[in-house]
Amino acid sequence: MNVGFLGLGAMGLPMARNLHKAGLLRAVWNRTAAKSVALAAELRCDAAATPAQLASQCEVMVICVSADVDVLNVVDALLPGIQPGALVIDCSTVSADTARTAAARLRTRQANFLDCPVSGGVEGAQKGTLAIMCGGSAEDFARAQPVLAAMGRTISLFGATGAGQATKATNQIMCAGIIRAVGEAMAFARAQHLPLEQVVETLGQGAGSSWYFVNRAPNMIRGSFPAGFRVRLHEKDLKICRDMAAASGVSLPVVDDVLREYAQLIAEGYGDEDISAIYRLKWRLFTDAPFRNPPSGEVFDLLRSARTIAIVGLSADRSRPSHGVARSLQQFGYRIIPVTPSAESILGERCVPTLAAAVASLPAGEHIDIVNVFRRPEHVGAIVDECLALQLPALWLQDGVVDESAARRARTAGVFTVMDRCIFRDRAALPT
């Protein structure tokens, strides 16, 4: 059996290589000729100059291109060279109507057609383990078995022409819902400060797991989304699903929501990243959320357990609010560390110029429990940076010190953060 392959993209190239390994590949063609010439030289097969030339050499042709119009253009380009009885296998993801149109055009030359979209990503294409969903006649399906078996592991016929594409559309809807849920779950886990690798290792064995969770949650942990299944290609597929559902008078909420999110990713320049890039939007739900102070019970627990409070911006002037607060904190039994370069000592405590110096000044076994800030809001961002670098556990922005962005950043990084509240008044209100 001589097989030709048309479309050497991220999926098509490894699929063609697997056909070569099976001893079936005779010729290749690609719209960008350099790709087909390079692969032909590597595999020692023919690089056809045109689809028609490839069709004249092959009894079976496999197409793997990006869009409906591409499939129909390739089919039209095959027709001048195609032989009666030839079989065209289309592994692209297109609409069921496009599959039926392609089959009708091939019938004018007594050629046959199977729509055989695939699932399993680039990894599945490379390993020859794709799931292949087929539509067409049982006779053509049986004839295609050696070709399909070289590229996939799970191969099923779902009905007449177009049934393979309808099944693939079903798959793409599931992928949309799953990758969206995985993105939200991983953003939630990060916001809860869980050990993310352990989350994937453990939940990957649970009832909520999926291929996307096991194989794409690591992308989310790294914040890197190398193209496997590109956002813009899944968007194209979901538009097909939306249109097919609309023909039944139905809108699909998951599809509509994911299409809206993909449109945002594409507008921001992420269209060629893997669909796991949806995590970018899910994490923003947490980083962009309005800052809210922790529940009073948690604030009181912090004040009960704290022993040492570093006060950034503490003034030596007894008339200043920071001085009165610091004096009151001492009366409640806290040790204070004045963080200010403008004085040598305040309230009997030696001043230090920075939080790093405050940490270094502590005896072994002691630590800073709370950083209390009396600086103007424009200084808060740098103070947060220092808290994060020193891994300090709690940040308290005194009443009047408001920087939501910095407070969110600290909270997101795991720092217990209170904003625009008076630490003295909260301590005075502490239930006995």
Q: Which of 155, 172, 169 is nearest to 95 (CA)?
A: 169
54 close to 4: Cβ distance less than 8 angstroms = yes
Torsion of CA 272, 277, 281, 284, to 10 degrees: -120
Amino acid code (one letter) for 235: E
282 is catalytic: no
Per residue in 166-177, pLDDT (tens digit) is 999 999 999 999
* β-strand partners of 352: 339
Residue in 124, 119, 212, 127 with CA at minimum distance from that of residue 171? 119
Amino acid identity, position 180: R
DSSP 322-336: HHHHHHHHHHTT-EE
Mean pLDDT of 141-160: 97
pLDDT one-digit tens code per residue, 236-255: 999 999 999 999 999 999 99
Tell me, what's the pLDDT at 66? Answer: 87
Count of helix runs (H) and strand runs (E) in the chain: 20, 16
Identify the bridge partners of residue 397 per DSSP, sorted by sequence position. 373, 419
Class of the 296-428 domain? alpha beta
Check 168, 236, 239, 282 and give the catalytic one. 168
Farthest-apart Cα atoms in the chain, separation = 99
Q: What stretch(es) of the chain map to CATH 1.10.1040.10?
A: 168-287
pLDDT of residue 148: 98
Reported confidence tier of residue 227, pLDDT bands at 50, 70, 90: confident
Asked whether the beta carbons of 430 and 300 are under 8 A apart, the reply is yes
pLDDT band at residue 228 using 50, 70 and 90 as cut-offs: confident
Q: What is the pLDDT of residues 300-343, one digit of tens each?
A: 999 999 999 999 999 999 999 999 999 999 999 999 999 999 89
Kindly report the pTM of this predicted structure: 0.77
- CATH class label, 168-287: mainly alpha
**Do residues 72 and 159 lie in contact, with contact meaning Cβ atoms separated by under 8 Å?**
no
Q: Would you state the structure tokens that stand for residue 192, as one six-digit string?
A: 């809860």
Q: Which superfamily does 3-161 belong to?
A: NAD(P)-binding Rossmann-like Domain (3.40.50.720)
The secondary structure of 182-213, three-state, reads: HHHHHHHHHHCCCCHHHHHHHHCCCCCCCHHH
